[in-house]
Chain A
Amino acid sequence: LRGGIIVTNRIEEKRKERAMTQQQMAAALGVSRQTIISLESGKYNPSLILAHAIAQLFETNIEDLFIFGEEAK
Chain B
Amino acid sequence: MKLKQQKKFGIFYLCIGLVLFAAQFVYDAKVDHSFGEGLLSGISACFIVMGFVRLLRYKRIQKNPDAASEYEAAYTDERLAYVANKARAMTFYIFIFVQLIGGLIALYVFREKLLGMVLCYLTSLQCLTYVVLYRIYGKKY
B-contacting residues of A (Cβ < 8 Å)?
A: 23, 26-27, 30-35, 38, 44, 46-47, 49-50
- B32 contacts the other chain (CB 8 A): no
A23, A27, A44, A49: the one within 8 Å of B79 (CB) = A44
Q: Complex formed: what's the CA distance from A50 to B78 in Å? A: 8
State the majority secondary structure of interface residues on B. helix
- B141 contacts the other chain (CB 8 A): no
Tell whether, in the assembled complex, residue B78 and residue A46 are in contact, meaning their CB atoms are under 8 Å apart: yes
Other contacts beyond A26-B70, A32-B79: 9, CB < 8 A: A26-B73, A27-B73, A30-B77, A31-B78, A32-B70, A32-B74, A35-B78, A44-B79, A50-B78
State the majority secondary structure of interface residues on A. helix
Chain A-chain B contacts (Cβ-Cβ < 8 Å), number: 33
Q: Complex formed: what's the CA distance from A31 to B77 in Å? A: 5
- Report, nearest first, the 6 A-B pairs whose CB atoms are least far apart: A35-B79, A31-B77, A32-B77, A32-B73, A30-B76, A44-B79
